[in-house]
Amino acid sequence: MRVREAKPGDEYVIMKLIHGLAAYEKASEEVKNNPESLAKDLFESKLCEAIVLEEDESIIGFALYYTSYSTWRGPCLYLEDLYVVPEKRGQNAGKLLFDQVVAICKKRKFRRMDWQVLDWNEPAIEFYKKVNATLDSEWINGRLFFDYD
């Protein structure tokens, strides 16, 4: 298994993995993105970045992240999604992706890395505990949705 930066053409497989993640999170109907928009955001406007995990030249996982900003800390990295196909879980695949995102964060000298995990996702929670992450139950997430046709 090897981690590399996403490149044009990967958006189709990444989008397929995004649909897999949405199904896992019981939210398939919430995916509104498409490969063309994802490619534009990743490779043209660079709103976000992604790394992929390959095995035998097939993409088996991805992590998508972007720069956020803390008024207290300055630039931060926000890990939007990390996903590995079910058959490759438990083989260190998720850790390879996570460790690479941490390395990117440190290389950029960001002072914080954030992400969310669903309260029922015990495997992910246990993974984050193993890497000594702070899992904060104090903050309540706020969100607005806008659908444009």
Active site (catalytic) residues: 128
**Rounded CA separation 60/22 (Å):** 16
67: helix, strand or coil: strand
H-helix segments, the chain = 11-24, 35-39, 93-107, 122-130
**Rounded CA separation 84/42 (Å):** 19
**Rounded CA separation 35/16 (Å):** 9
Q: Which residue, chain included where needed, has tokens 């993640």?
A: 21
**Rounded CA separation 61/74 (Å):** 29
